[in-house]
Amino acid sequence: MDFRQIRYFMEVATREHVTEAAHSLHVAQSSVSRQIVNLENELEVDLFIREGRRVHLTPIGKIFFERMKHAMNVIDDARREVKEYLDPEKGTIRITFPISLAAYTLPTVIYAFRLRYPEAKFQLKQALYQELIEGVIKGDFNLGLIGPLPLKEKKLQQKVLFTENIVALLPIHHRLAKESSVKLQELVDEPFVLLPEGFVFRDIVVNACQNLGFTPNVAFEGDDIDALKGLVSAGLGVTLMPEVTLVDSLPRSTVKIPLVEPNVTRTVGVITPKERALLPTEKLFYDFLQEFFTRLDDFKS
Amino acid sequence: MDFRQIRYFMEVATREHVTEAAHSLHVAQSSVSRQIVNLENELEVDLFIREGRRVHLTPIGKIFFERMKHAMNVIDDARREVKEYLDPEKGTIRITFPISLAAYTLPTVIYAFRLRYPEAKFQLKQALYQELIEGVIKGDFNLGLIGPLPLKEKKLQQKVLFTENIVALLPIHHRLAKESSVKLQELVDEPFVLLPEGFVFRDIVVNACQNLGFTPNVAFEGDDIDALKGLVSAGLGVTLMPEVTLVDSLPRSTVKIPLVEPNVTRTVGVITPKERALLPTEKLFYDFLQEFFTRLDDFKS
DNA sequence: AATATCAATGCGTTTTATGCATTAACTAAT
DNA sequence: ATTAGTTAATGCATAAAACGCATTGATATT
């Protein structure tokens, strides 16, 4: 067994396509095909089912794939750990985060971090709530920004960073657009524009409404925060969003209005795996995160 | 990076000796030496300190070694899992156990297991109490027989198998040798023969005595149960041991006498890691263990 | 039915690891 | 202090393994 075989295997397994895997690995198709066969011969099991020109994993192939993903994560982390050992400030931070933090919070933190450590590199992965948690547990990531923090996940270390206000975003010609504040109850009959199912931030809004006894009428869905802004801007509905995502500039033809009742907030924090230690550079970033938001809180109050 | 390099590295790291490692790997010394250098070049760190003709790990080398041990454990387990998937009855059970179970309990269970699954193989590792627990947590073993079960180890799954009586073993000419039972208090002034420090079974005896307000006078120490039997047999002292270790035959010139006050017992169980699943063959054995001792208990009562 | 695509395989070429021999540095013994 | 014996590293020729190309046989696609 060989690292190369495992690499080839993983690539073929994820793509279920030998030729594509070969391209992505920058080798000939025949090489990949042959290494897969070699691996199967050594393990004395079929990892793939060949149906015509299709290849897909056998049940045991799937198990093997999961195990190898784990092992390769351990090995990749070890390599990075060794490299970063001499020079943590030049290492890489791998971090996963929800879309709602993508626009403002994360870029701001990264910008500040790089002022102090200009050579640090980042690998960013936007993910849905559950994906994100799974990614940190399984070892694909050692750091995850998330809001709200998941309940009682015993494999995760959690740390609150800040709590943010949620405001209403309305089209500028909306009947409530001139108010200085709105109550959520006043939006009962409004068309909402929200993120699709699966995004936590959608759930936060829906839950807040349901606590008041109504289910929001979702008129349109947008795949990212900017899409939502566009929809509101076009007058197609109203939405709620964290205040920070509007901090730079308000979308054209919209107004943001504080939500006074209930006071909807969300708590954003960082999760790390309890089982694994952070890599040197990631540790720098983790400590920085806490320092950064502590200062921000001090500044606010 | 390459599996071969890691294998060579691990061998050199454990032996701190390139030539010996090469022998054990059945390759030339130059190959090992070369691969180590290649690995170091790729990682851009020195893994070994060369002092004259000595080689030993640098601090980062030690970290890398630990990570690779982990990764290799995962990979080895994955290989076994794949191989055993088709035929769990022909697989291998790796298990670690304390010396006190080596003489009777473990052989008996293995014998019974192999009556049902004659092709199952075993890899056995005798270990001290703490080593044993560490071994299961770290991933060197997935099964550990142990008595008593460790307290609140959150990474371990624990299962009680049986509780056994502890009896006194006396030289045949001992003043108490004719009694039908002894109280531990009656042995206050006796010379004891015990296992060395570090063995749980020694601690069990010492604790039992200390509960009665005395510290046993350890006249001789023996490295294994048979050594203790020999020492008692030679009249050099008395000892306590689990009744099962005496079930086959009593050592020459000794008598075993039930201990009535206090009724010293120990609970033997099996520990497995919570984080990892048992391999197919190990699962067979785990289930068998429970069945075996449940029946034994039924039989006794 | 014709064409395109795909995975597997035979074969010559290139890359990589290996073993042998040697070197340089060290240790231990005389 | 000298010498003999070890040890790890390196140059070099050889052996092993992976690679790419070309091809085959099977399967989708039109």
- Given a contact cutoff of 8 angstroms between Cβ atoms, the answer to whether A254 and A247 are in contact is no
- pLDDT value for A51: 78
CB B45 to CB A82 under 8 A? yes
Give the CA radius of gyration of chain A. Answer: 23
How is residue B250 annotated by DSSP? P
Residues in chain B: 301
pLDDT tens digits for range B50-106:
877 788 888 788 889 999 999 999 999 999 999 988 889 998 899 999 888 887 889
Q: Copy the structure tokens of residue B173.
A: 């000419």
- Given a contact cutoff of 8 angstroms between Cβ atoms, the answer to whether A166 and A160 are in contact is no
The spacing between the Cα labelled CA in A111 and the C1' in D22, in angstroms, equals 53
What SS3 state is found at A160?
strand
CB B85 to CB A63 under 8 A? yes
CB B82 to CB A45 under 8 A? yes
Q: For strand D, is any atom closer than 7 Å to the CB of A42?
A: no
Q: For strand D, is any atom closer than 7 Å to the CB of B53?
A: yes
Q: Copy the structure tokens of residue B135.
A: 């071994």
- pLDDT value for A50: 85
- pLDDT value for A301: 54
pLDDT tens digits for range A97-129:
988 788 788 988 999 999 999 989 898 988 888
pLDDT tens digits for range A202-237:
888 898 899 888 989 888 888 888 888 888 888 888
pLDDT tens digits for range B165-217:
889 999 988 888 888 888 988 888 899 999 888 788 888 889 889 988 899 98
Q: Is A1 on the interface with B (CB under 8 A)?
A: yes
Distance CA A8, CA A5 (A): 5
* Per-chain mean pLDDT for chain B: 88
Q: How many of the other CB atoms lie within 10 Å of CB of B263?
A: 10
* Per-chain mean pLDDT for chain A: 88
Q: How many of the other CB atoms lie within 10 Å of CB of A66?
A: 13
Q: For strand C, is any atom closer than 7 Å to the CB of A37?
A: yes
B11 closest CA partner among B21, B23, B1? B21
**pLDDT above 90: residue B152:** no
- pLDDT value for A299: 63
Give the predicted TM-score (pTM) of the model. 0.74
